[in-house]
Structure 1
Amino acid sequence: MSQDLKISYLKSLQGYLWESGYKFGELKSPLFPDVTPKLAAWRNEQGAKLMIYSSGSVAAQKLLFRHTDGEPSDLTAWLDDYFDTVNAGPKTEAASYTKIVGHHPELGSAGDWLFLSDNVKEVEAAKQAGLQSIIVERPGNAELSEEARAKHRVVTSFDQI
């Protein structure tokens, strides 16, 4: 896991190992300070549907968002769906994003969706599938190339969206 491999069965194991730590309050998912207020605004003020697509398993995603260091701590009531590499496919393939959009036809076409990621290849795949997509640059992320900065919209905070 120190190599951050995106292998589905390792992510499932990771979720299992985390479960007891979150359950007993020993672990909290750290969030950047702008995340909780912006999710609240998108969800409650703008009526946006919020979904998570992660290389971590759906079970791990639910644990992470149920036990955050934000206020409120449990953000799962704000999230409408969860996707991972098992139920959607690899995050660097456009077909995965097409599949996700297909799960929610009531939300319109791919162009009506916005995908946020710190990964250039994921942003490119989402764009290939027709989604709007933005790179979110945060401390600890891989450094972005000048080419990526020129090609894609880059923000450093959800407040810039």
Structure 2
Amino acid sequence: DGLEPLKRRPLPTVQDAVQKRKPVLTNENLTVPLMLRDQPIGAIGLQYDKKNRSWTQEEITFIQSIGEQFALAAETLRLLDETQQWAARERLVAEITTKLRASHDPQAILQTAAEELRIALSAKRVQALVKPVPEESKPETPDPQRGET
């Protein structure tokens, strides 16, 4: 059988093992928490048909070791996925920045930015508004008649 799909009811000892952060043994179940940096991230539960099964310390230690390796592998995959997402975002930012720098027209830059955001985020519409610069904030235009350049 192997792994059970998540839609099935978990073993009754799973929640207990996660809360207690230690193995839970019953007559037919052995459940060990999956720990990552001293935090429970899940549990591995084994169930046998045989009643009154006794678990050896060797079996418990073995399952705990498997759980530790599983938790590390899961964390490695999570970090890899996070890194790949970050790299994809950075590539997209670089591509958009290159397109924005290709123009010196503020309106074209704004339109390009809005369109690139719409595409990148699969949005139906993007709207960007820029508040006009007040006249007193604009740099003075040099007056050639006064000898300014």
Fold-level similarity (TM above 0.5)? no
Work out which of the two has the higher radius of gyration on C-alpha atoms and give 1 or 2. Answer: 2
Higher relative contact order (CA 8 A, sep 6+): 1
Normalized per residue, the structure richer in helix is 2
Question: Shorter-chain TM-score: what band?
Answer: under 0.3
Q: With the length of structure 2 as denominator, give the TM-score of the two structures.
A: 0.23
